[in-house]
C-alpha cells in the first residue's frame, strides 16, 4: 500500500496516532540530524509518554557530538545518551569492504537498539527513514543502515514507526520549520547513520578513524554557515596504483576503491588525483576527461607534504535532493587555506578537493 503523506505537522501526528496509538512503547533513535529529530518529535506529539528519545554514541560520531546534540535539543526532546562506542567500533575493526562495513555497523547498531528496547520493555522503535534511503537501498545503490528488511525486524523482534518514509529531505525541512525547530537543526548538514565509518575509506582501524574525526572538526569549523549542502573530509592510505597524463593533465590513480553511480547503478573504481593541469583549463570540466565507471571520483591536489601516509579528501557539494549534486565554485586560495590546516594533522601526505558531480560520483566516497 502506498501512503500519501500530507505535508503538515498536524496530519503527520494524526497519522501516527491513528496507526500506533495501541502500541506498548517505542524507543526513538535520534542522531541530531533533521530526519531523526523531526521523527521523534512527531512520534512524541502523537504518542506522548510511550516514546523514549535516545542518542546512541556509536563511536563514529563527530567530536563532542552527544553533548552538543543534547544541548541543542533541550526543551524539545529530553535525550537519554547511551554509549556503545567500544562495542560497535570493535565489531567493525579490520573490515575493508564498504558494504561489509555498513552491514556490520547495522548489525551492531541494532543490537544496541535492541538492548535499549529491552531495558525499556518496548517492542517498537521510531526512525527518521526518508524516501531517498528506501529508493537507494531498494535500487541496490547502497545499504542504508536504517532501511530494515523483514528478516532484520524479525530477528531483532522489533517493529518500526517511520513517520517520514514518504518524504524527501526538503519536505522534512519544511516540517521542521512548521515545528519551529532551531535553524542549527533545520539546516544541519546531513550526517550519515554510520557516520565517520564511511569516511574512513577502506580498512577500518582506530588511527584512521581518529584522523577523520580531527579533520572533520577543522573542515566544519571553517565551513559551518557557508550554505553548502554537505562538506566533509574522508581519509585513506596514500597508496598509488598508477600514473599518467592526458592533454597536459598529469594524474595519479589510487589503489583504494571508491563508489560512483552510473545509470542509477552503483560502480566501484579508483579515485584519480590531478597533480597538474594546463593553465586556463576549466577545473570543473577536468572530470569529463575520465570514465566515471573506472574513476568515479576526480580530485585536484591542494597540498602535498611530500611525506606521510594518508590522503585527506575534502568534498563539498550543493544539492536539493541528494540524488544529484554539484560542486560549487570556491576560491582556490580559500580551499588552500583549509587544506593547510588539515595537512598539519599527523601523517597526512596530501589534501585534495573533489571536483566530481553526482552522478558519476556519489556524495560520499564509499
Ligand atoms: P551518496 O554517497 O550515496 O550520498 O551520494 C547521498 C546522501 O546519503 C548520505 N549517505 C548515507 N546516509 N547511511 C546514511 O544514513 C549511509 O550509509 C549513507 N551513505 C551516504 C550521504 O551523506 C548523502 O547525504
143 pLDDT higher than 80: no
Residue 43 binned pLDDT confidence (cut-offs 50, 70, 90)? very high
Judge if the beta carbon of residue 198 lies within 6 A of ligand 1: yes
Given a cut of 70, whether residue 303 has pLDDT beyond it is yes
Residue 247: count of CB within 10 angstroms of its CB: 9
Judged against a pLDDT cut of 50, whether residue 1 lies above it is answered with no
Q: Domains in the chain, ordered, with CATH?
A: 9-186 (3.40.50.620), 200-354 (3.30.300.10)
Phi/psi for 194 (5° steps) reads -75, 0
The whole-angstrom separation of Cα 330 and Cα 28 is 39
pLDDT at 14: 97
Predicted confidence (pLDDT) at residue 141 exceeds the cutoff of 70? no
Mean pLDDT of the chain: 93
3-state secondary structure at position 246:
strand
Beta sheet of 310-317, edge-to-edge order: 230-237, 310-317, 348-354, 298-304, 272-276, 249-254, 240-246
- Full strand arrangement of the beta sheet holding 159-161: 80-83, 51-57, 26-29, 124-126, 159-161
What pLDDT is recorded for position 41? 97
Three-class secondary structure of residue 130 per DSSP: coil
Most ligand 1 atoms within 8 A of CB, residue of 322, 324, 327 to mutate = 322
C-alpha of residue 312 to centroid of ligand 1, in Å: 19
CA of 262 to the centre of ligand 1 (A): 16
Which one of 322, 327, 359, 364 would you pick to mutate in the ligand 1 pocket, going by the greatest count of ligand atoms within 8 A of its CB? Answer: 364
Q: What is the arithmetic mean of pLDDT over 351-360?
A: 97
How far apart are alpha carbons 290 and 138 in whole angstroms?
A: 29
- Asked if residue 192 has its Cβ within 6 Å of ligand 1, the reply is yes
297 lines ligand 1 (CB under 6 A): no
pLDDT at 2 over 60: no
Alpha carbon of residue 231 to chain centroid:
10
- The per-residue pLDDT for 4 is 55
Question: What whole-number distance in Å separates Cα of residue 85 and Cα of residue 296?
Answer: 32
State pTM to two decimals. 0.91
Q: Bigger pLDDT: 46 or 184?
A: 46
Amino acid at each position: 500500500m502506498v501512503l500519501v503523506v500530507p505535508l503538515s505537522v498536524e496530519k503527520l501526528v494524526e497519522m501516527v496516532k491513528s496507526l500506533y496509538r495501541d502500541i506498548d512503547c517505542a524507543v526513538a533513535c535520534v542522531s541530531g540530524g533533521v530526519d531523526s529529530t523531526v521523527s521523534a518529535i512527531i512520534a512524541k506529539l502523537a504518542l506522548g509518554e510511550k516514546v523514549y528519545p535516545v542518542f546512541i554514541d556509536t563511536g563514529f560520531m563527530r567530536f563532542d557530538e552527544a553533548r552538543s546534540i543534547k544541548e541543542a535539543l533541550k526543551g524539545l526532546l529530553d535525550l537519554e545518551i547511551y554509549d556503545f562506542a567500544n562495542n560497535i567500533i570493535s565489531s567493525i575493526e579490520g573490515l575493508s569492504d564498504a558494504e561489509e562495513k555498513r552491514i556490520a555497523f547495522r548489525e551492531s547498531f541494532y543490537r544496541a537498539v535492541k538492548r535499549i528496547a529491552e531495558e525499556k520493555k518496548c517492542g517498537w522503535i521510531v526512525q527518521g527513514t526518508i524516501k531517498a534511503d528506501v529508493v537507494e537501498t531498494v535500487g541496490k545503490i547502497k545499504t542504508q543502515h536504517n532501511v530494515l528488511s523483514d528478516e532484520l525486524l524479525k530477528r531483532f523482534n522489533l517493529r518500526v514507526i517511520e513517520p517520514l518514509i514518504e518524504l524527501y529531505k526538503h519536505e522534512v525541512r519544511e516540517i521542521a520549520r512548521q515545528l519551529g525547530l532551531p535553524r542549527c537543526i533545520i539546516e544541519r548538514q546531513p550526517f550519515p547513520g554510520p557516520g565517520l565509518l564511511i569516511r574512513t575509506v577502506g580498512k577500518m582501524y582506530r588511527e584512521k578513524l581518529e584522523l577523520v574525526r580531527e579533520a572533520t572538526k577543522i573542515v566544519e569549523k571553517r565551513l559551518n554557515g557557508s550554505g553548502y549542502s554537505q562538506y566533509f573530509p574522508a581519509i585513506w592510505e596514500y597508496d598509488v596504483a598508477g600514473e599518467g597524463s592526458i592533454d597536459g593533465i598529469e594524474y595519479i590513480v589510487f589503489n583504494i576503491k571508491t563508489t560512483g553511480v552510473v545509470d542509477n547503478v552503483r560502480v566501484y573504481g579508483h579515485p584519480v588525483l590531478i597533480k597538474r593541469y594546463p593553465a586556463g583549463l576549466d577545473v570543473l570540466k577536468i572530470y569529463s576527461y575520465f570514465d566515471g565507471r573506472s574513476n568515479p571520483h576526480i580530485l585536484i591536489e591542494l597540498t602535498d607534504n611530500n611525506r606521510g601516509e594518508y590522503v585527506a579528501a575534502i568534498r563539498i557539494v550543493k544539492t536539493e535532493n541528494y540524488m544529484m549534486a554539484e560542486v560549487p565554485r570556491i576560491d582556490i586560495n580559500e580551499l588552500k587555506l583549509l587544506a593547510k590546516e588539515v595537512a598539519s594533522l599527523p601523517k597526512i601526505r596530501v589534501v585534495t578537493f573533489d571536483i566530481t558531480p553526482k552522478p558519476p560520483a556519489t556524495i560520499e566516497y564509499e
